[in-house]
Amino acid sequence: MTPRQAARIALVAALAAVWAVSAYLLWQSKVPSSLHLPHLDPHAYFTSAQLHATARFSRVDDLFFWATTLAQIAALAVFAVWGVRWTRESAAGPLGTGMLLGMLGFALVWLVELPFGVLELWWQRRHHLSNVGYATYLFGNWFALGGEFVFLCFALAVVMGLARRLAERWWIAAAPAFVGLALLFAFIGPYLTPTHRLQDPSLRAVATQLEAKEHVGHVPIDVQTVHDVTSLPNAEAMGVGPSRRVVLWDTLVDGRFSRPELEIVIAHELGHLARNHIWKAVGWYALFAFPGTFLIARLTRRRGGMGEAAAVPLSLLLLVVLGLLALPLENAISRHREAEADWLALQTTRNPAAATALFRRFVPTTLDEPSPSTIDYLLLENHPTIMQRIAMAQAWRRYATR
Amino acid sequence: MSEHPVQLVVEDDLKRNRLTVCFRLILALPHFIWIALWSVAVFFVAIANWVVTLAAGRPAGSLHRFLSAYVRYVAHLSAYIWIVANPYPGFVGEEGEYPIDIRLPPPEAQNRAKTLVRILLALPALVLAATLGSPGSFASSRGSRRQSFGYSASGLGAAVGVLGWFASLARGRMPKGLRDAGAFGVGYNAQALAYLLLLTDRYPNADPTAMLEGVERPPLHPVHLVGDAHDLRRSRVTVFFRILLALPHIVWLALWSIAAIVVAILNWFATLFAGTPPRSFHQFLSRYIRYGLHVSAFIYLAANPFPGFTGEAGTYPLDLVLPERARQNRWKTGFRLFLVIPAAIVNSALGSALIAAAFFTWFVALVRGSAPWGLRNLSAYALRYSAQLNAYFLLLTEAYPHASPLEGEAPEVHAFDEAA
């Protein structure tokens, strides 16, 4: 082994160690490691009709996911082979041509996904989960595609600009740039989301008490109007630093959920902020961004590297395939964070009955399967399953009375 | 392609009588009444002609003559109202009697299928004709307290008419650029009307150069188009997503525009002070205008490829020649903001035609994979004028934008000049 090879191996080992230590630190959770979730029978919590309805809904919904994913990969695979032909439609030099190819790739994916999207919308409308009209869906998607194009062009300009300067080492500079962008979006996200303050004074007072218990400082509680688009209930913690806030969808505060259940939701979202989950999400993104960009840099070498427009179609395919491969891991990390937020909500409210009632209510309102198949669990579930969440409430009860 | 059977004849000498120009709309009142009556008759005759053409495969001679006279009369009247011609027109639409005239074909065999759906086929041409200007109309409306009565017109023709009115009153002469633009509008309107009324089954040709073939070309403007005018191929995929694909350019152009505004203000002060724009400002603004043209050509489908982001010369099939910096008149520089207003009016009118042309080109290019030659040239004309306006406004040249649809001609170089 030459000293150069030895140095390279040592460097890779050191980087792997840094990666592992960072991952370990980010994985730390308040959920006791000794906590054992009991195995619960869904039939004890849900009627057979409810279980049948969710299974039926999910079966078709899963079909759309697989069809969309396969269509997307097939379209990008074809584009990776033939997309270079569109370079003749550009007079923009390598960078601009790369942008054009990137946009065309996304446009083709949009086209092939469109029929499945419409069918999925039909399925959701049939189950009263979506109120979006077909025309709104098509035109709204069109505008969203425009936004994606602008962001994609910016990303490609960064990658290709760096690749033309730094050759194969572009990923070393690009990964931090993308992490910076992720952080920027985490910060400005709340300002771009149209919301209004929570009007209910008593719920606001409860939120203030929960803030104090979770030691998160003052966090505004906002409401986002979504009832004209969907009937699904949801909430999220957003922002970093001064932009932090909890956003409740108005479908959550429309009277279908009781006060104690809403307290669980707010405590859960404040738990995300208390445990810096958004920062941690950016941290995880950074851990994936470095190897991800490195892999793309290596795998596009045969097309001349990312400095050449010809490499762009292949890079899009790689991006999607790598994203799909990383999906189970991403979901596992997300579920881990969500479980911690659930635990903090139970610790703060000390009300496992309300938590159980909330999770039970999610089944008829969202048609989520309480206990999905393993493949669904790995690829589609970024939250613990309903049964896991109910089991955690039961486990907390035993843990608290120990 | 063979010559269009509906031909515009321009024999106007640009001279205008100030008195008749001053009272032009009032003098045209009898014509407005007459054209309204004639139009009612034409409505019924056109239906009869449609039935006859469908049955016999060609229009009846008498109906064809009646409708031809109407098309010519509309052209004469439009030319008179828009100050594109000077003399008071006759009332019968006689051929060869007016300096802006229309030569129409004799009755000829027509495709029955096209005849059947003629009104639908004519729609795009009529929309485009509306943006190029119709003769206008008098209308009355009842408000809450009183009845009002007014004349309304729109499009390129109206812009030419208003600006031509002031210019002709001041100089006793119609500017050639405005006259040519107005004549083009008259000619296209006549072709669209002739197509609708089954006087020909050749589709109107939006190509301004073909329309004004016999008209003398203006001198070459320092800001003019170059490149491959015959590059009509269009990629269907990029055409379909054209607006979305242009978004990065629109964002970039918006950012560039902010800088360009600052530089333009500094350039104005510098030129006013020194008499010549600073080199760096001139170069920056030249690139900005050229980039704007590339992006517009891409958006409006006047060119095919995705443009670069730098506005570099010689990189795009529809490119712009801009002049080197030169000394400029300080008075013209000082009042540039006001001097540019007439050109901005023409540019705004051409903008509507550009949008309509792009709209129809989009459909044609999606089906055929190529842009129609006429619409491409109309778009190029609008884009060229817009670039000339921008160059004038941003002090890259003191040559006023030339409204003629004809591309300028470089002055002929004689042998003894070359030898000298």
Tokens, residue B174: 């119609």
pLDDT at residue B148 is higher than 80: no
Residue B7 is classified by DSSP as E
B241 has a chain A CB within 8 A of its CB = yes
Q: What is the pLDDT, as a whole number, of residue A242? A: 93
Q: Measured between CA atoms, how close is B234 to chain A, in angstroms?
A: 9
pTM: 0.85
C-beta atoms surrounding A299 within 10 Å: 16
Angle between helices A312-349 and A201-214 (to 10 degrees): 100
- Looking at the complex, does the CB of residue A145 fall below 8 Å from at least one CB of chain B? yes
Residue B238 touches chain A, beta carbons under 8 Å: yes
Torsion of CA B242, B247, B250, B252, to 10 degrees: -130
Rg over CA atoms, chain B = 23
**Cα A311 versus chain centre, distance:** 27
CA distance B307 to chain A (A): 5
Query: Does residue B55 belong to the interface with chain A, where contact is any CB pair within 8 Å?
Result: no
Task: Give A85→chain B minimum CA distance, Å.
Answer: 11
pLDDT at B417: 47
Measured between beta carbons, the chain B residues lying within 8 angstroms of A145 are: 244
Q: How far apart (Å, rounded) are the C-alpha atoms in residues A178 and B415?
A: 64
Contact A101, A83 (CB under 8 A): yes
User: For an interface test with A, which of B236, B239, B244, B320 has the most A Cβ atoms less than 10 Å from its Cβ?
Assistant: B244
Contacts of A97 in chain B (CB under 8 A): 306
For residue A143, the model assigns a pLDDT of 79
Token digits of residue A27: 């994985």
Q: H or E segment at A1?
A: none
Minimum mean pLDDT range among A322-326, B60-64, B92-96, B123-127 = B92-96
* Cross-chain residue pair B238–A97, CB shorter than 8 Å: no
Chain A residues with CB inside 8 Å of B248's CB? 99, 103, 149-150, 153-154
Which residues from chain B sit within 8 angstroms of residue A150, using beta carbons? Answer: 247-248, 251
- Asked if B256 is an interface residue toward chain A (Cβ–Cβ < 8 A), one would say no
Residues of A in contact with B306 (CB under 8 A): 89-92, 96-97, 99-100
| pLDDT tens, residue by residue, A227-247 | 999 999 999 999 999 999 999
Across chain B, what does the average pLDDT equal? 91
- Which pLDDT belongs to residue B154? 63
Are the C-beta atoms of B217 and B407 separated by less than 8 Å? yes
CA angle A293, A296, A301 (to 5 degrees): 130
Q: Of the ranges A264-273, B135-144, B234-243, which one carries the lowest mean pLDDT score?
A: B135-144
d(C-alpha B63, C-alpha A273), whole Å: 82
Residues A330-386 pLDDT 10s: 999 999 999 999 999 999 999 999 999 999 999 999 999 999 999 999 999 999 999
Q: For residue A88, what is the nearest residue in chain B, using CA coordinates? A: B305
| CA neighbor of B63 nearest in space, from B80, B46, B79 | B46
> Which among B241, B247, B304 has CB closest to A150?
B247
* Mean pLDDT of the region A73-88: 94
Between helices B118-132 and B176-196, what is the axis angle to 10°? 170
Cα–Cα dist A49/A30, whole Å: 36
CB under 8 Å to A401, separation ≥6 — which residues?
none
Question: Which band of pLDDT confidence, cut at 50, 70 and 90, is reported for residue B211?
Answer: very high
Given a cut of 60, whether residue A29 has pLDDT beyond it is yes
Number of Cβ within 10 Å of residue A88's Cβ equals: 12
Q: How many C-alpha atoms does B27 have within 13 Å on its Cβ side?
A: 18
Q: What percent of chain B has pLDDT over 90?
A: 86
**A106 touches B at CB < 8 Å:** no
In this prediction, what percent of chain A has a pLDDT beyond 90? 90
Residue of A nearest to B312 (CA): A92
Residues B2-15, mean pLDDT to the nearest whole number: 92
Q: Which positions in chain B touch A108 (Cβ < 8 Å)? A: 237
B126 by Cβ neighbours in 10 Å (0-12 / 13-18 / 19+) ranks as middle
Cα end-to-end span (Å), chain A: 58
Whether residue A91 and residue B237 make contact (CB cut-off 8 A), yes or no, is no
Chain B residues whose beta carbon lies within 8 Å of the beta carbon of residue A153? 247-248
A104 touching B, CB under 8 A? yes
CA angle A65, A69, A75 (to 5 degrees): 145
Q: Does B370 touch chain A (CB under 8 A)?
A: no
Interface contact B317, partner A, CB < 8 A: yes
Residue B100 corresponds to which tokens in the numbers above?
């802006």
Q: Round to whole Å and give the CA distance between A363 and A365.
A: 6
Nearest-by-Cβ selection for B237 from A104, A153, A154: A104
CB proximity A91 to B under 8 Å: yes
Using CA coordinates, name the residue in chain A closest to B316. A91
The mean per-residue pLDDT over the stretch A82-103 comes to 92
Contact A96 B308 (CB under 8 A): yes
Query: Residue B127: CB partners within 8 Å, gap ≥ 6?
Result: B356, B360
Residue B135 pLDDT grade (very low, low, confident, very high; cuts 50, 70, 90): low
* Per-residue confidence (pLDDT) for residue B413, from 0 to 100: 56
Residue B141 has pLDDT above 60, yes or no: no
Q: Residue A142: closest CA among chain B residues belongs to which residue? A: B244
Running DSSP on this structure, what letter comes out for residue A130? B
- Residue B210: pLDDT over 60: yes
Structure tokens at A90: 């550009």
Reference A234, options A205, A212, A256, A260; nearest CA is A256
Residue B420's pLDDT is what?
A: 37
Residue A175, pLDDT score? 95
pLDDT at B150: 54
**Single-letter residue type at B142:** R
Is the dihedral angle over the CA atoms A162, A163, A165, A171 positive or is it negative? positive
**Which residues on chain A are in Cβ contact (under 8 Å) with B238?**
86, 89, 100, 104
In the structure encoding, which two tokens stand for residue B161, read together? Answer: 């008419």
For A110, name the nearest residue in chain B, comparing CA atoms only.
B241
Looking at the complex, does the CB of residue B313 fall below 8 Å from at least one CB of chain A?
Answer: no
In this predicted structure, the answer to whether residue B338 has a pLDDT above a threshold of 70 is yes
| Rounded Cα gap, residues B276 and B369, in angstroms | 46
The answer on pLDDT for B179 being more than 90 is yes
For B308, the closest of A91, A108, A150 (CB atoms) is A91
- Residue A130's DSSP bridge partners are A230
Q: Measure CB to CB from residue B245 to each of A91, A93, A100 and give the nearest one.
A: A100
A157-167: per-residue pLDDT in tens?
999 999 999 99
Check the CA dihedral A22-A28-A33-A37 and report its sign: negative
Q: What is the pLDDT of residues B108-129, one digit of tens each?
A: 999 999 999 999 999 999 999 9
For testing the chain A interface, which of B239, B245, B304 should be mutated: the one with the most A CBs within 10 Å?
Answer: B245
- How far apart are alpha carbons A95 and B309 in whole angstroms? 9
Closest CA to B197 of B104, B98, B330, B92: B104
Interval B374-418: pLDDT, tens: 999 999 999 999 999 999 999 999 999 999 999 888 766 554 444
Q: How confident is the model at residue B272 (pLDDT cuts 50, 70, 90)?
A: very high
> Among partner residues B237, B248, B310, which is closest to A99 by beta-carbon distance?
B248
Beta-bridged to residue A222, according to DSSP, are A197, A247
CA B194 to chain centre: 19
CB distance from A146 to chain B under 8 Å? yes
Predicted local distance difference test score (pLDDT) of residue B396: 96
Would an 8 Å CB–CB cutoff place A79 in contact with chain B? no
Q: What are phi and psi of A90, to 5 degrees?
A: -125, 145
Answer whether B228 touches A (CB < 8 Å).
no
Average pLDDT over every residue of A22-46: 93
Q: Does A96 touch chain B (CB under 8 A)?
A: yes
Distance CA B285, CA B290 (A): 8
Under DSSP, the state recorded for B409 is B
Determine whether the interchain pair B248/A142 forms a contact, defined as Cβ–Cβ distance below 8 Å.
no
**What is the end-to-end Cα distance of chain B in Å, rounded?**
42
Nearest to A153 among B248, B304, B307 (CB): B248
